[in-house]
Amino acid sequence: MPTFEYAPAPESRAVVDIASSYGLFINGEFTDSQGGGTFKTISPATEEVLAEVTEASAEDVDRAVAAARTAYTRVWSRMSGADRGKYLFRIARILQERAREFAVLESLDNGKPIKESRDVDVPTAAAHFFYHAGWADKLDYAGLGPDPRPHGVVGQVIPWNFPLLMLAWKIAPALATGNTVVLKPAETTPLTALLFAQVCQQADLPPGVVNIITGAGPTGQALVGHEDVDKVAFTGSTGVGKAIARTIAGTRKTATLELGGKAANIVFDDAPLDQAVEGIVNGIFFNQGHVCCAGSRLLVQESIADQVEARLKRRLETLRVGDPLDKNTDVGAINSRAQLDRITELSEAGEAEGATRWSPECELPSKGFWFRPTVFTGVSQTHRIAQEEIFGPVLSVLTFRTPGEAVAKANNTPYGLSAGIWTEKGSRILWMADQLRAGVVWANTFNKFDPTSPFGGYKESGYGREGGRHGLAAYVTTGDAT
Instruction: Give the shortest CB-295-to-other proteins separation in angstroms.
Output: 14
Smallest gap from residue 308 Cβ to other proteins (A): 10
Residue closer to other proteins by CB (options 360, 414) is 360
Query: Which H or E run includes 400?
Result: strand 394-400
Spot the catalytic one: 258, 309, 389, 466. 258
Q: Report the residue from 4, 35, 227, 363 that binds other proteins according to the rule CB under 8 A.
A: 4
Residue (137 or 278) nearer to other proteins, CB: 278
Q: How far is the CB of 325 from other proteins (least distance, A)?
A: 11
Phi-psi region of 193 (alpha: psi -120 to 50; beta: other; left: phi over 0): alpha
How far apart are alpha carbons 185 and 103 in whole angstroms? Answer: 17
Binding range to other proteins, per CB under 8 A, among 30-38, 136-144, 274-282, 352-360: 274-282
CA pair distance 25, 14, nearest whole angstrom = 24
Question: Is the Cβ–Cβ distance between 232 and 253 less than 8 Å?
Answer: yes
The angle at the Cα of 225, spanning 224 to 229, to the nearest 5 degrees, equals 70
The yes or no reply on residue 274 touching other proteins (CB under 8 A) is yes
- HSE-up of 343 (CA within 13 Å, CB side)? 25
43 closest CA partner among 13, 15, 7, 23: 13
Q: Least CB distance from residue 311 to other proteins, whole Å? A: 9
- Asked if 273 is part of the footprint of other proteins (rule: CB under 8 A), the reply reads yes
**Stretch 409-428: interaction string toward other proteins, x if CB under 8 A:** ---------------x----
In total, the chain counts a number of residues equal to 482
CA distances from 382 to 200, 353, 465 (A): 48, 9, 30
**Of 116, 292, 389, 466, which residue is the catalytic one?**
292
| CA pair distance 292, 313, nearest whole angstrom | 24
Mark whether 258 is an active-site residue: yes
Site for other proteins in 318-377 (CB under 8 A): 318, 327-328
Position 124 contacts other proteins (CB under 8 A):
no
CB of 293 to other proteins, least distance (A): 18
The window from 13-21, 158-166, 271-279, 392-400 that contacts other proteins (CB under 8 A) reads 271-279
- A 10 A CB-CB count for 239 gives 11
Q: Which of 271, 305, 421, 473 binds other proteins (CB under 8 A)?
A: 271
Strands (E) located in 146-209: 149-150, 153-157, 180-184
Asked if residue 432 lies in contact with residue 407, where contact means CB atoms within 8 angstroms, the answer is yes
Q: Is 100 in the site for other proteins (CB under 8 A)?
A: no
Phi, psi of 164 (to 5 degrees): -75, -40
Q: Which is nearer to other proteins, 210 or 271 (CB)?
A: 271
Q: Where along the sequence are the contacts to other proteins (CB under 8 A)?
A: 2-9, 115, 119, 270-275, 278-279, 318, 327-328, 424, 444-445
| Residues catalogued as catalytic | 258, 292
